[in-house]
Amino acid sequence: MGLLNDGDRVYVENEKLNELRTHSDRFEGLCGFGGFEDLDDSFDVMLTIGGDGTLLKSIGYIRDLEIPVLGINSGRLGFWLQLIRITCKRWCNNCGNVRTKLWSAR
């Protein structure tokens, strides 16, 4: 069983999505978003892959929508993402059947 169920959609930041599509047609089925105005509180989670800057940028996208953010550090240091790592296991255990809909990458 994967993260996605039938009917689920994955949204990727437009800039990153365009870059991914230049490398492979596997990304054609993904949806894009340009900013806060494209999002609403129907999203289950925002997954960010990058460093502290990417995490802070994702928080700017969701603002007060109360979408939980899961950050995966692919940077060299990541002060904020180190704090998230401590609680990640507990967060994942509490997720249940949360379906991932949004991915923001650097």
Structure letter (DSSP) for residue 36: G
User: In the annotation, is 38 catalytic?
Assistant: no
Structure letter (DSSP) for residue 6: T
Catalytic residue among 25, 38, 40, 52: 52
What is the DSSP track for 24-86? -GGGTT-EEE-SGGG--TT---EEEEESHHHHHHHHHHHTTS---EEEEE-SS--HHHHHHHH
Looking at the annotation, which residues are catalytic? Answer: 52
